[in-house]
Structure 1
Amino acid sequence: MKDGKPWVGDEVHDAGTGRNGVLTDVRSGIYVLRPLHGGPEWTSETDAELTVVVPLDEAPPRHSPRRARRRGN
């Protein structure tokens, strides 16, 4: 969170779509989110419908199983 508002890296709930995702970018006031388990990104024009579920500083490390397989892990 930044100044009490959702910010990049936070897991949020988007009340407008009913979905949870990770806030990945803010471009000219438009919030860009990606699903927690893959799929297309979506946007929100306001933070009023976004509620922080897990702030970045409390989130467990995110890890990509696909990436780990490529490294041989």
Structure 2
Amino acid sequence: MSTRDRDAAAYRPRAGEPVLDSRTGRTGIYMDTIGGEHYLRPAGGGREWTARPGQLAPAPIPIPAPEAAEAAGTADTTDAPVPDPAAPDPATPDPAATNRARLAARLAARNQDSRLNESQVA
């Protein structure tokens, strides 16, 4: 190691800044430094990885934001919501609502019948 390398200021990225991990060749977003290791994650989200301070450099090309990737149609679809199999199908009527409707119709018919009977008695 030359004196110039040893005396050079260490590169310190800011949170959210795109950086290049020279060990793996991957470009990621800098998250934090804990215990002397930098934590990075892929730009579109995913599993974090660690890098040592001497292995980071500014990203040579800008990483597209996830919103730009979605607009271009290249977004990662693994985060798409998965339908809940236990959730009721919206096309299938709710049985409880159907039973309530039947009961209301029966009560309305019974009330109509009772009004007729009262008018006949009076």
Smaller-chain TM-score bracket: 0.5 to 0.7
In structure 1, runs of 5+ residues without a counterpart are 66-73
| Equivalent in the alignment of 1:8 | 15
CA distance in 2, matches of 1:40, 1:16: 17
TM-score w.r.t. length of structure 2: 0.39
Moved over 6 A (4+): none
Cα pair 2:44 2:66 within 8 Å, conserved: no
Task: Give 1:52's match in structure 2, choosing from 58, 69, 89.
Answer: 58
Alpha-carbon RMSD across the aligned residues, in angstroms, is 2.8
Judging changes above 3 Å, is the alpha-carbon distance between structure 1 residues 37 and 49 closer, same or farther for their aligned structure 2 residues?
same
State which structure, 1 or 2, has the greater radius of gyration over its C-alpha atoms: 2
1:30 corresponds to which residue?
A: 37
% identical aligned pairs: 34
Question: Gaps (5+ residues) in structure 2?
Answer: 1-9, 71-122
Tell me the number of residue pairs that the alignment of Structure 1 and Structure 2 aligns.
59
User: Which protein is richer in strand relative to its size?
Assistant: 1
TM-score (structure 1 length as normaliser): 0.61
